Amino acid sequence: MTSVHTPPFKVLFLCTANSARSILSEALLRHEGKERFQSFSAGSKPSSKVNPVAVQLLAMRGIPIDGLSSKSWHIFEGESAPQMDFVFTVCGNARDEECPVWPGHPVTAHWGISDPAAVTGSDVERLAAFESAYALLQKKIRMLIALPLENMSDSERRAACKDIGDIL
């Protein structure tokens, strides 16, 4: 059975602090997914600010940073919240936490990415960690964008998103 969901597909990226990986994901999908996707990000314990290296990298890549902020995932639960089609955890902590029940029962998957914000060292080393995370997120997001989501059943979407999550 094919789902009745049509573009724009709403996608929520989750990470504990919502300051780096989920922010990069939100910005990347917003930029590359164009009108076909609406992207959001949130965290279970938001840091209250976006990691400055994430902002620097997005700016270097020409990806708009306006509207990006660290926020709680609680704004995406409840009847008045936007109904998501997809929810992806991009860190192990968020995956292992008890997530809210998302309205509409979206497709969920874990797209684990090493935390670039945890890297210590020189500015060059920290930026390299963010570039590595960015490259892997971009690969996964481009795979999502390439899927014929409009013509896939919910079970096909789940399987495809899980497969994307398994990509190293």
For 69-113, the DSSP string reads: ---BGGGG-STTSPPPSEEEE-SHHHHHS-PPPPTT--EEEE---
- Could you tell me the CATH number of the domain that includes residue 87? 3.40.50.2300
Tell me: pLDDT of 94 over 70.
Answer: no
Task: With respect to residue 56, please indicate whether it lies within any of the assigned structural domains.
Answer: yes
- pLDDT for res 97: 67
Residue 27: inside a domain:
yes
Share of the chain above pLDDT 70, in %: 94
Contact 23, 14 (CB under 8 A): no
Contacts (Cβ under 8 Å, ≥6 apart) of 21: 13, 15, 90, 91, 113, 115, 116, 133, 137
Coil, strand, or helix at residue 40?
strand
Half-sphere CA count of 124, side-chain side, radius 13 A = 0
Q: Which two tokens stand for residue 158?
A: 């789940």
Structural domain contains residue 91: yes
Put simply, whether the predicted model's pTM sits higher than 0.85 gets the answer yes
Q: Which residue type occupies 135?
A: A
Q: Is residue 54 part of a domain?
A: yes
Predicted pLDDT of residue 1: 42
The model's pLDDT over 113-159, given as tens digits with 9 standing for 90+, comes to 999 999 999 999 999 999 999 999 999 999 999 999 999 999 999 99
Terminal CA-to-CA distance of the chain, rounded, Å?
A: 30
4 inside domain: no
Range of the domain at 56: 9-158
Is residue 168, in this structure, part of any structural domain at all?
no
Report residue 164 as tokens: 């994307």
- Is residue 84 in some structural domain? yes
> How far apart are alpha carbons 159 and 168 in whole angstroms?
16
Instruction: Output the pLDDT for position 93.
Output: 62
Cα separation values, 56 from 14, 135, 140, Å: 21, 15, 21
Query: What is the number of domains present in the chain?
Result: 1
Q: Residue 20: how many CA atoms within 13 Å on its side-chain side?
A: 22
Confidence of residue 27 (pLDDT cuts 50, 70, 90): very high
148 DSSP 8-state letter: -
Determine, yes or no, domain membership for 49.
Answer: yes
